[in-house]
């Protein structure tokens, strides 16, 4: 019998807690839309009590998402529960995710509460939430370091109070697969089918996916994961690794998920671009090297039959082909047909705009590949409500020349121009942008990547700017790497302003329970 494992995605909640990651409200909606396309069962949209910005984002995701459940996180406190339930009001399929720490170390040092008090708080929280909502998930935080008998006591109490799902977090990534699997088997055996069992594994020892799989083998019904494995500290279990493992080794696991695997690559790219967290090249499933073969003996095998050294076909997860697909004589219909094949659908007016950008690219670059198109689309479909747009850029650089840049930016109906010199053309242009925006930003990370091979390749720049200690990602593409760099810098600057606007007057509460 093949079991269906539910995928609870927490990219927008635990994922957003990754050091250095922060998503704008618009980016959260883009990610939520992609997660829905990906087929996750539940989207955890945020932690409403933690800030007005988070509250609004959960509310916006709840309004947008139609097919999946939308979850909001709350501590076992009345005000948290009220805020989360309010944020979920417009969700078609709401889920409230309650958590309270149960391990000895958390009880003693963080909460200062006895076991009986923990059980009482947990039960009261579930009962309060159940007055409004049926679909309650309860997480005993730090469950893997909790005494199993006490964990069972809490689980039985919350199940009796009406919780539908018991989530077992390995909060600090301490568990090992055999032990974690045994814990899940113990709970399953003692709880029977009265409550669904979920797991939520962190990656501090690099075991989050292995622990999640061990839990599935032991009878878990749901796993919590994030795209690219982002999350607190070393991150959470990677959604794509779990989904692809269950698929490729279905002979062994005899489990399936509702994940549409061909949307994985696009989801990975979107999350990476929007959070600024670069995917390591050798990351399983979605890393840039995952389908590259370097050793001669491997290349020889691949040419004879790909299956000799490749267990995942790139097309399975939606990796675009790099062959020539379009050129400057291709028309709008050809472009549209290609975009549809890549999974993009646009209205006629949007297509007109995209076609202009494509023509522009095809003029500079003879061969436009799927990978180029995807890079272009990622820029086009991830628009910030741009504060500043680049109207004009001219740079001077070379040996025995002082690098100079002239930049013209448009904001609303107003155009401003600045000229600056710098250490190089990119530095000069960034300084000119700073003169116009008044922002003092420091470039803290800069990467350039050629989307395809060839001297005319599209350059993709991803960078981080640091403004008053906060890191903000930016991305730009162009066949001209100075232009790509300036676009990326401006993209980060716009994100900064958008964040400022979105969180104006925001008081962030530091959750203490
Ligand atoms: O890691 C953790 O314990 C959590 C809980 C809130 C589920 O993220
Ligand atoms: Zn977590």
Domain limits, CATH 3.20.20.70, in the chain = 3-275
Q: Which ligand is nearest to the CA of 199?
A: 1
Q: Is 144 in the pocket of ligand 1 (CB under 6 A)?
A: no
Judged against a pLDDT cut of 60, whether residue 139 lies above it is answered with yes
Average pLDDT rounded to a whole number, residues 3-20: 94
142 is in an annotated binding site: no
Residues with CB under 5 A from ligand 2 (ion): 14
CB 5 within 8 A of CB 256: yes
Atom of ligand 1 lying closest to residue 13 CA: 8
Distance 456 CA to ligand 2 centre (A): 43
Rounded CA separation 330/350 (Å): 18
CB 133 within 8 A of CB 82: no
CB 246 within 8 A of CB 253: yes
Number of H helices, E strands in the chain: 17, 18
Q: For the segment 244-278, what is each residue's pLDDT rounded down to a tens digit? A: 999 999 999 999 999 999 999 999 999 998 888 88
Q: Is 200 in the pocket of ligand 1 (CB under 6 A)?
A: yes
Distance 210 CA to ligand 1 centre (A): 18
Spatial CA neighbour of 30 closest among 356, 505, 380, 386: 380
Average pLDDT rounded to a whole number, residues 21-28: 85
Judged against a pLDDT cut of 60, whether residue 299 lies above it is answered with yes
Architecture of domain 389-502 in this structure? 2-Layer Sandwich (3.30)
Within 8 A by CB and 6+ apart from 276, the residues are: 20, 21, 462, 464, 471, 472, 473, 474
Within 8 A by CB and 6+ apart from 480, the residues are: 364, 459
Judged against a pLDDT cut of 90, whether residue 506 lies above it is answered with no
336 is in an annotated binding site: no
The three-state secondary structure class of 131 is coil
Mutate which of 158, 171, 199 for ligand 1? The one with the most ligand atoms within 8 Å of its CB, which is 171
- Exposed (0-12), middle (13-18) or buried (19+): which is 469, by Cβ within 10 Å? exposed
Judged against a pLDDT cut of 50, whether residue 510 lies above it is answered with no
- Supply the residue whose CA is at minimum distance from atom 1 of ligand 1: 171
Distance 383 CA to ligand 1 centre (A): 31
Other beta carbons less than 10 A from residue 52's beta carbon? 18
State both tokens at 480: 């001209």
State both tokens at 454: 């060839």
Spatial CA neighbour of 395 closest among 510, 259, 486: 486
- The superfamily CATH assigns to domain 3-275 is Aldolase class I (3.20.20.70)
Domain limits, CATH 3.30.160.270, in the chain = 389-502
Q: Is 47 in the pocket of ligand 1 (CB under 6 A)?
A: no
């Amino acid at each position: 019998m093949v079991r269906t494992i539910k995928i609870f995605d927490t990219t927008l909640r635990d994922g957003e807690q990754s050091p250095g990651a922060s998503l704008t409200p618009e980016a959260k909606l883009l990610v939520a839309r992609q997660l829905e396309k990906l087929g996750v069962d539940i989207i955890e949209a945020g932690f409403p009590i933690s800030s007005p910005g988070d509250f609004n984002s959960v509310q916006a995701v709840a309004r947008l998402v139609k097919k999946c459940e939308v979850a909001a996180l709350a501590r076992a406190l009345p005000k948290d529960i009220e805020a989360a339930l309010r944020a979920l009001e417009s969700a078609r399929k709401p889920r409230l995710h309650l958590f309270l720490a149960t391990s000895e170390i958390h009880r003693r040092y963080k909460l200062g509460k006895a076991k009986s008090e923990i059980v009482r708080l947990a039960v009261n929280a579930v009962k309060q939430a159940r007055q409004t909502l049926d679909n309650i998930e309860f997480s005993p935080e730090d469950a893997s370091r909790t005494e199993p008998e006490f964990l069972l006591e809490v689980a039985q109490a919350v199940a009796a109070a009406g919780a539908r799902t018991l989530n077992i977090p390995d909060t600090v990534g301490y568990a090992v697969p055999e032990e974690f699997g045994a814990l899940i088997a113990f709970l399953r055996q003692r709880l029977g089918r009265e409550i669904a069992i979920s797991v939520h594994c962190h990656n501090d020892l690099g075991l989050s996916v292995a622990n999640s799989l061990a839990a599935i083998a032991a009878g878990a019904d749901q796993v919590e994961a994030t795209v690219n494995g982002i999350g607190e500290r070393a991150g959470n279990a990677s959604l794509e690794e779990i989904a692809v493992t269950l698929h490729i080794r279905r002979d062994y696991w005899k489990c399936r998920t509702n994940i549409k695997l061909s949307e994985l690559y696009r989801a990975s790219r979107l999350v990476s671009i929007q959070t600024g967290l670069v995917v390591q090249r050798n990351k399983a499933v979605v890393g840039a090297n995952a389908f590259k073969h370097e050793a001669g003996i491997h290349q020889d095998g691949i040419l004879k039959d790909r299956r000799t050294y490749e267990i995942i076909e790139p097309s399975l997860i939606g990796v675009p082909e790099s062959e020539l697909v379009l050129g400057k004589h291709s028309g709008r219909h050809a472009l549209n047909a290609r975009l549809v094949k890549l999974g993009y659908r646009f209205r006629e007016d949007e297509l007109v705009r995209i076609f202009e950008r494509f023509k522009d690219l095809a003029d500079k670059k003879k061969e436009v590949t799927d990978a180029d198109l995807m890079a272009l689309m990622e820029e086009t479909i991830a628009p910030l409500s741009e504060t500043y747009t680049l109207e004009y850029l001219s740079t001077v650089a070379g040996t025995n020349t002082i690098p100079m840049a002239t930049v013209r930016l448009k904001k609303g109906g107003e155009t401003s121009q600045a000229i600056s010199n710098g250490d190089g053309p990119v530095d000069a242009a960034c300084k000119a942008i700073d003169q116009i925006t008044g922002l003092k930003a420091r470039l803290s990370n800069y990467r350039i990547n050629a989307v395809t091979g060839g001297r005319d390749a599209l350059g993709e720049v991803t960078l981080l700017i640091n403004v008053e200690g906060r890191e903000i990602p930016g991305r730009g593409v162009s066949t001209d790497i100075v232009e790509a760099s300036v676009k990326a810098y401006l993209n980060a600057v716009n994100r900064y302003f958008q964040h400022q606007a979105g969180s104006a007057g925001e008081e962030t509460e530091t959750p203490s329970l």
